Amino acid sequence: MLVQRVATAAVGLPLVILLIWAGGPWYAGVATGLILIAAYEFMAPQHGSGAPLSFATAGLAAAIAAGAFIGPDWVLWFTLAGVLITLVWVTLRANPETALPDFTHAVGGITYVGLLGAHLVLLRELDNGRDWVYLAVLGTFAVDTAAYFTGRAIGTRKLAPTISPGKTVEGTIGGIAGGFAAVLLANYFLGMRLEAALIVPLALVLPLAAVTGDLVESIIKRGMHIKDAGHILPGHGGLLDRADSILFTVPVVYYFLIWVVP
């Protein structure tokens, strides 16, 4: 498992770095495609790998990310359209027994994967967005990596045994510390050089958001009675398993820049 995780990261991380550097339509297009797959992984366990609702929800979630490349307002419109289309869908099917769970699950996929994931594009389109995406993604990876190795080395006390039995308090503390350091280092070496009063709060909040995102996906998978959302990434599971923390940390960085940074 560890060998697979390292090999996948060794191949994937340089590609991610190159894609973020490129930006533009290439970045937005790949991000949209990844969200399409992740949203499908969210839907398929409950509705079947070939279910029309799984494909429709994945497409609607991806449309939100595509809209983000046009402008922030389009994220709102595409999200509202996705919710309304889903409501019409379940109504026209006229099956009262499944209408409510189908609707709530589809809207969950649209908002959880599509709306949150669209911030990957929104953040990249900001001024100096490339470096901020680097900070968000690399900071998140630092949390995951530090938590994994700290937990394996000294982890004994379970963090949330009913949600994610493998996570430990020690591993989580190590992950938060690793993420904190990564954000401070990225702030310096990527040239943002925000003062301590601004960057330290972000360095504290981003790791907490990463841990929260990981736990959120874990409890969703427990409800679906699955271990991994998919199998596309050896050693990591599905794309949703790899992006669960990023779905929370990237919006945190985006709104930090919009609301806090002068």
pLDDT tens readout for residues 34-65: 999 999 999 988 776 668 889 999 999 999 99
Residue 5 lies in a domain: no
- 144 and 224 co-located in one domain: yes
- 183 and 247 co-located in one domain: yes
- Amino acid code (one letter) for 48: G
Contact 241, 229 (CB under 8 A): yes
Among residues 78, 110, 125, the one where a domain terminates is 125
- 99 and 78 co-located in one domain: yes
In the chain, which stretches have pLDDT less than 50? Answer: none
pLDDT value, residue 49: 63
Residue 12 lies in a domain: no
- 80 and 166 co-located in one domain: no
- 113 and 136 co-located in one domain: no
Cα–Cα distance measured from residue 83 to residue 79, given in angstroms and rounded to the nearest whole number: 6
The pTM of this model reads: 0.93
- Amino acid code (one letter) for 222: R
Residue 3 lies in a domain: no
- 108 and 185 co-located in one domain: no
Residue 31 lies in a domain: yes
Residue 11 lies in a domain: no
pLDDT in tens, 191-230: 999 999 999 999 999 999 999 999 999 999 988 888 877 7
Domain with 48 in it: 25-125
Residue 144 lies in a domain: yes
pLDDT value, residue 20: 96
- 171 and 256 co-located in one domain: yes
Task: Measure Cα distances from 238 to 38, 138, 153, 204 in Å.
Answer: 7, 19, 25, 28
- 144 and 169 co-located in one domain: yes
